[in-house]
Amino acid sequence: MALNPPTDGNRDPYRVPGEHFVLWRCGVEFHLDIDGMGKLKGKGKLIITTLRLVLINEAGVDFKAFDIPYGNLFNEKFCQPIFGSNYWQGSVKPLFNSLPGDTHFKIWFTEGGC
C-alpha cells in the first residue's frame, strides 16, 4: 500500500508497466486506520486495475489517494447489511515499509451499489 501515489491532473493514478484499468466506481466513502499513524477518511472514487485498487479522495489536499496492491491484501470481507450501503473491509501490508504498519480499511459503495 502507498499513501498518495502519483496521479495526473485529473487525479487518475499513473499506470504501472503492464497494468490495465478495469473499472471506475464513483460515489465511494472510505476510512483507513494505519497502525502507528492514525485514521484517514475520504470520499471520491475507486479505481480497480489488474494489479491494485486505488482510492481517490476528490476533496483531499494532504490525503489525495491510497494504493492497495492485491499481493499485500489480507482478511478482506464483503458485507451486505440489511440497512445501509454495501461495504468492503480488509487489511493491507505497506509496500517497502513506506508506512509504519498495516492499514485496515472500509470502503462504502454509496451510489448505485458495488
Residue 98, judged by CB atoms within 10 A of its CB (0-12, 13-18, 19+), counts as exposed
Length of the chain: 114
Query: Any bridge partners for residue 91, and if so which?
Result: 74, 104
Write out pLDDT tens, residues 34-87: 998 899 999 999 999 999 999 999 887 788 999 999 999 999 999 999 898 899
* 112 vs 74: CA distance, rounded Å: 26
Gyration radius (Cα) of the chain, Å: 13
Report the CATH number at residue 25.
2.30.29.30
Give the global pTM: 0.88
Instruction: Name the 3-class secondary structure at 97.
Output: helix
Residue 68 belongs to domain spanning = 19-109
Q: Is residue 6 part of a domain?
A: no
Q: Is residue 2 part of a domain?
A: no
Write out pLDDT tens, residues 2-35: 788 888 888 889 998 999 999 999 999 999 999 9
Q: Is residue 35 part of a domain?
A: yes
Q: Is residue 8 part of a domain?
A: no
Number of domains in the chain: 1
Q: Is residue 95 a contact partner of residue 16, using CB atoms and an 8 Å limit?
A: no
